[in-house]
């Protein structure tokens, strides 16, 4: 099915509410004509309700952010820096004491189109604490995690343990002997193609995504969670496993709608679910049903003590799309974004599936306890960030899970802290930051803070030197946007900031590297403003210019930028990590025409070996013969001088075998991509062999 057709099909599934049906519209028009009074139908109470405010910090007027405008100086030229003191923002966070309370808050947000109801805090609650929990965190993909800590493992599509290569290819994980370059075993995933893998000792951890939808019949009664074969008809006690599918199907039969129950048998999915749409799975869905989101991230753990005979030990999954992960001390921290997309009103508080995230451990479904859900004050959306800590060390895997309401995907994880950023709105938009301490496989809420503006995305935040940095965008009354950059301390209090940056353009992100913040122009993809955050207030730095998507640490003192060269080819620039100034100029690797590279969108595609002082960059370009794949290898010295060591080329008919990763093992270089491995001698880059898998 073509993309447009699929999109059209999806939109056509959106149901029109009863009040907008033609027969009701006629009635409305008659009433309006008679009364000449406009009113909009609302059928759900805006009851903000009895929340037991547990937390966290009193409405301690936040971080009034003194925002210093420095960008104007550099780019406006004539304008003076101005100091702007914004009004306080309320960011008090609570944790509901029951699903009823959560439902009321959740419904309030839905009805307000983004405005959470005012919090009603109970006297004395200021000193209450969020129960200790074990939430997890995020980590891996691209910029979500700080990997400067050697104790943190990063997931990837290719891993090696020194003896074997572990490569993802479609739905198959191939384990390949580095000695013989033969596939010794394969693991087939029944879910969507696996996303990433970890190798932790004798365990292989496979992360996949599972597409699934919960179908809801017209009367609002949930009927089947296709992805899991488990449904919920009534609210269980917090943390209590949900009923199994058989029990619920019986209940459905008793309710008179058995034929509308969709079971695994009908869709043919495995115990851990499977794709239910985009293909024939859709035909099993009754026409009268509608859907709410149930995409899951799945974690499968295999024992690979004998790589030729791996076996499955643990299955875990949680609601939401995979955002990122990391492993620290044997604990997998997993973050998912759980969006509230619904085509029908939320009208059944007993239907936990419609407003409470869930997770599954070895097939057993658990809803998050209400007290494990954190709701920052002013939360303006019903999206969740779900975080879990999965202890993979013990023989019996355990998981602790928490969620933050009002945020989606914007998460960042340092070695010991997870930051989740959500949206708030009262009289203006702001970003609410919640931090969690990660230790001993648990996750504990730490603190909350807020900054003005809408966060620019997960690529616009990080932690460095114990300080959290974040960029947000604000829009003035005329619709013009500008960017602000904030530095917050451990208690999430703003201690440094710069505002009104790049008002003449549109920033796509602000990248933080070491002490620098780079404002990236959406149009050109280049850094247009660089701030030195070591000064307070920040100062403009005339450095780190160029179009490198990422900067890579090549040593304590040097940062590498990799980008497209003007006129074709690749450019590499080494910067001084302290000053941001270019050292030893820029090296160009010439290619005819425009080059593409996985490195432009995925930080992990660039190989840096600090010990051998090697840099590997995969690129590809198109010519009349097809696709030219090239793997460039450079060396650099202690002064930052870069020299091209060589290039390995492969001319292919199409893009199916684009080079994606390079890996060094001993004296050999392995280039992996599209089911092909090219091995080469590191000393002279002579190709030893090419292997298909």
Q: Applying CB under 8 A, which of residues 91, 106, 277, 691 lies at the interface with another protein?
A: 277
Instruction: Tell the smallest beta-carbon distance from residue 396 to another protein (Å).
Output: 32
Q: What does DSSP assign to residue 11?
A: H
| Distance between CA atoms of residues 318 and 297, nearest Å | 6
| 216 makes contact with another protein (CB under 8 A) | no
Q: Applying CB under 8 A, which of residues 72, 389, 399, 456 lies at the interface with another protein?
A: 456
Instruction: Tell the smallest beta-carbon distance from residue 139 to another protein (Å).
Output: 16
| 335 makes contact with another protein (CB under 8 A) | no
Beta bridge partners of 139: none
Q: Applying CB under 8 A, which of residues 86, 146, 225, 275 lies at the interface with another protein?
A: 275
The CA-based angle 605-609-613, given to 5 degrees, is: 125
State which residue, 491 or 601, has the beta carbon closest to another protein: 601
Contact 300, 190 (CB under 8 A): no
Instruction: Tell the smallest beta-carbon distance from residue 385 to another protein (Å).
Output: 11
State which residue, 39 or 396, has the beta carbon closest to another protein: 39
Q: Applying CB under 8 A, which of residues 172, 596, 664, 682 lies at the interface with another protein?
A: 596
Beta bridge partners of 164: 177
Instruction: Tell the smallest beta-carbon distance from residue 211 to another protein (Å).
Output: 4
State which residue, 563 or 580, has the beta carbon closest to another protein: 563
Which parts of 346-405 interact with another protein (CB under 8 A)? 380-381
Contact 282, 275 (CB under 8 A): no
State which residue, 113 or 567, has the beta carbon closest to another protein: 113
| 291 makes contact with another protein (CB under 8 A) | yes
State which residue, 381 or 392, has the beta carbon closest to another protein: 381
Q: Which residue has the tokens 């990422």?
A: 550
Contact 484, 63 (CB under 8 A): no
Dihedral angle sign, alpha carbons of residues 353, 359, 361, 362: positive
* Among candidate residues 614, 623, 636, 622, the one with its CA nearest the CA of residue 680: 614
Which parts of 655-684 interact with another protein (CB under 8 A)? 655, 658
Provide the token pair at 382.
Answer: 């019903």
| 516 makes contact with another protein (CB under 8 A) | no
Q: Applying CB under 8 A, which of residues 125, 213, 463, 591 lies at the interface with another protein?
A: 213
| Distance between CA atoms of residues 460 and 142, nearest Å | 12
3-state secondary structure of 22: helix
| 624 makes contact with another protein (CB under 8 A) | no
| 61 makes contact with another protein (CB under 8 A) | no
| 115 makes contact with another protein (CB under 8 A) | no
| 293 makes contact with another protein (CB under 8 A) | yes
Pairing mode, strands 373-376 and 398-405: parallel
| Distance between CA atoms of residues 118 and 107, nearest Å | 13
**Which segments of 13-148 does DSSP mark as H helices, in order?**
22-35, 71, 99-111
CB under 8 A: which stretch of 25-33, 74-82, 432-440, 567-575 binds another protein?
A: 25-33
| 110 makes contact with another protein (CB under 8 A) | yes
- In whole angstroms, how far apart are CA 605 and each of 204, 427, 663? 21, 43, 10
Q: Applying CB under 8 A, which of residues 77, 124, 150, 279 lies at the interface with another protein?
A: 279
Contact 438, 333 (CB under 8 A): yes
| 464 makes contact with another protein (CB under 8 A) | no
| 567 makes contact with another protein (CB under 8 A) | no
Which parts of 625-644 interact with another protein (CB under 8 A)? none
Provide the token pair at 585.
Answer: 């100029």
| 600 makes contact with another protein (CB under 8 A) | yes
| 30 makes contact with another protein (CB under 8 A) | yes
Contacts of 607 (CB under 8 A, 6+ apart): 614, 615, 616, 617, 661, 662, 663, 664
Which parts of 413-442 interact with another protein (CB under 8 A)? 423, 425, 428-429
- In whole angstroms, how far apart are CA 379 and each of 47, 92, 427, 452? 16, 10, 13, 14
Q: Applying CB under 8 A, which of residues 152, 155, 175, 520 lies at the interface with another protein?
A: 520
- In whole angstroms, how far apart are CA 640 and each of 119, 563, 572, 576, 584? 55, 17, 11, 8, 6
User: Which DSSP helix (H) or strand (E) runs through 529?
Assistant: strand 527-532
User: Helix, strand, coil % (nearest 5) of the chain?
Assistant: 15, 45, 45
Q: Which residue has the tokens 């590191």?
A: 682
Instruction: Tell the smallest beta-carbon distance from residue 217 to another protein (Å).
Output: 17
| 79 makes contact with another protein (CB under 8 A) | no
DSSP annotation string for 285-337: S-TT-EEEE--EEEEEEEE-SSTTS-EEEEEEEEESEEEEEEEETTEEEEEEE
| Distance between CA atoms of residues 259 and 282, nearest Å | 16
| 106 makes contact with another protein (CB under 8 A) | no
| 177 makes contact with another protein (CB under 8 A) | no
| 211 makes contact with another protein (CB under 8 A) | yes
Instruction: Tell the smallest beta-carbon distance from residue 536 to another protein (Å).
Output: 27
| 601 makes contact with another protein (CB under 8 A) | yes
CB under 8 A: which stretch of 256-264, 269-277, 609-617, 682-690 binds another protein?
A: 269-277
| 4 makes contact with another protein (CB under 8 A) | yes
State which residue, 37 or 237, has the beta carbon closest to another protein: 37
CB under 8 A: which stretch of 53-61, 257-265, 285-293, 565-573 binds another protein?
A: 285-293
Provide the token pair at 423.
Answer: 């949206």
Q: Applying CB under 8 A, which of residues 201, 239, 268, 278 lies at the interface with another protein?
A: 278
State which residue, 522 or 692, has the beta carbon closest to another protein: 522
Instruction: Tell the smallest beta-carbon distance from residue 113 to another protein (Å).
Output: 5
Q: Applying CB under 8 A, which of residues 286, 330, 457, 674 lies at the interface with another protein?
A: 457
Contact 631, 127 (CB under 8 A): no
CB under 8 A: which stretch of 164-172, 173-181, 292-300, 361-369 binds another protein?
A: 292-300
Binding mask 133-172 for another protein (x = CB under 8 A): ----------------------------------------
**In the 3-class helix/strand/coil scheme, how is 146-192 assigned residue by residue?**
CCCCCCEECCECEEECCCEEEEEECCEEEEEECCCCCEEEEEECCCC
Counting residues that bind another protein (by CB under 8 A) gives 91
Q: Applying CB under 8 A, which of residues 341, 440, 465, 639 lies at the interface with another protein?
A: 341
């Amino acid at each position: 099915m073509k993309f447009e057709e699929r999109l059209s099909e999806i939109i056509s599934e959106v149901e029109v509410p009863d009040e907008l049906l033609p027969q009701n519209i006629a009635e409305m028009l008659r009433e309006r004509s008679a009364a000449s009074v406009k009113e909009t139908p609302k059928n759900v109470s805006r009851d903000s309700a009895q929340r037991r405010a547990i937390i966290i910090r009193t409405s301690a007027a936040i971080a009034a952010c003194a925002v210093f405008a420095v960008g104007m100086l550099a780019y406006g030229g004539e304008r003076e820096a101005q100091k702007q003191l914004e009004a306080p923002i309320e960011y008090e966070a609570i944790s509901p004491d029951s699903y009823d309370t959560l439902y009321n808050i959740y419904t309030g947000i839905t009805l307000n189109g983004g405005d959470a109801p005012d919090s009603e805090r109970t006297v004395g609650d200021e000193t209450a604490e969020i129960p200790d929990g074990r939430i997890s965190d995020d980590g891996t993909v691209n910029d979500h995690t700080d990997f400067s800590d050697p104790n943190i493992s990063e997931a990837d599509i290719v891993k090696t343990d020194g003896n074997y290569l572990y490569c993802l290819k479609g739905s198959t994980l191939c384990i390949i002997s580095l000695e013989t370059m033969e596939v010794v075993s394969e693991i087939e995933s029944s879910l969507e193609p696996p996303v990433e893998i970890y190798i932790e000792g004798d365990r292989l951890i496979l992360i996949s995504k599972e597409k699934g939808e919960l179908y809801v019949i017209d009367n609002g009664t949930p009927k089947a969670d296709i992805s899991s074969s488990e449904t919920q008809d009534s609210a269980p006690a917090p943390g209590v496993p949900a009923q199994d599918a058989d029990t619920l199907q019986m209940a459905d039969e008793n309710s008179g709608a058995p034929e509308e129950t969709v079971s695994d048998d009908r869709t043919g999915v495995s115990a851990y679910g499977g794709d239910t749409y985009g293909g024939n799975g859709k035909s099993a869905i009754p026409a009268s049903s509608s859907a709410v989101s149930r995409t899951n991230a799945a974690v499968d753990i295999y024992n690979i003590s004998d790589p030729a005979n791996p076996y499955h030990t643990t299955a875990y999954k949680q609601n939401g799309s995979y955002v990122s992960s990391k492993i620290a001390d044997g604990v997998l921290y997993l973050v998912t974004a759980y969006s509230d997309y619904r085509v029908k009103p939320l009208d059944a508080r007993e239907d936990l599936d419609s407003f409470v995230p869930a997770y599954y451990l070895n097939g057993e479904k658990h809803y998050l306890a209400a007290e494990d859900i954190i709701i920052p004050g002013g939360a303006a959306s019903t999206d969740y960030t779900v975080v879990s800590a999965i202890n993979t060390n013990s023989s019996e895997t355990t998981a602790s899970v928490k969620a933050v309401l009002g945020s989606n995907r914007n998460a960042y994880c340092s070695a010991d802290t997870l930051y989740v950023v959500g949206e708030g709105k009262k009289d203006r938009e702001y970003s609410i930051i919640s931090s969690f301490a990660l230790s001993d496989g648990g996750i504990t809420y730490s603190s909350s803070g807020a900054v003005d503006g809408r966060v620019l995305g997960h690529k616009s935040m990080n932690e460095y030197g114990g300080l959290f940095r974040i960029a947000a965008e604000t829009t003035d009354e005329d619709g013009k946007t500008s960017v602000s950059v904030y530095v917050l301390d451990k208690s999430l209090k703003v201690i440094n900031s710069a505002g009104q940056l790049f008002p003449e353009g549109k920033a796509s992100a602000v990248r933080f590297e070491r002490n620098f913040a780079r404002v990236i122009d959406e149009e050109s993809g280049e850094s247009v403003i660089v701030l030195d955050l070591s000064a307070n207030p920040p100062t403009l730095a005339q450095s780190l210019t160029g179009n490198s998507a990422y900067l890579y640490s090549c040593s304590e003192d040097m940062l590498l930028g990799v980008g497209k060269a003007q006129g074709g080819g690749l450019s590499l620039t080494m910067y001084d990590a302290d000053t941001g100034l270019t050292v030893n100029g820029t090296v160009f690797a010439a290619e005819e025409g425009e080059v593409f590279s996985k490195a432009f969108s995925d930080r992990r595609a660039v190989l840096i070996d600090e010990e051998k002082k090697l840099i590997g960059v995969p690129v590809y370009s198109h010519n009349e013969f097809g696709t030219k794949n090239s793997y460039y290898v450079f060396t650099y010295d202690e002064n930052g001088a870069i020299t091209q060591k060589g290039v390995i080329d492969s001319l292919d008919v199409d893009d199916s075998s684009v080079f994606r990763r390079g890996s060094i093992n001993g004296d050999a270089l392995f280039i992996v991509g599209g089911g092909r491995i090219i091995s080469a001698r590191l000393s002279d880059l002579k190709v030893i062999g090419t292997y298909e898998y």
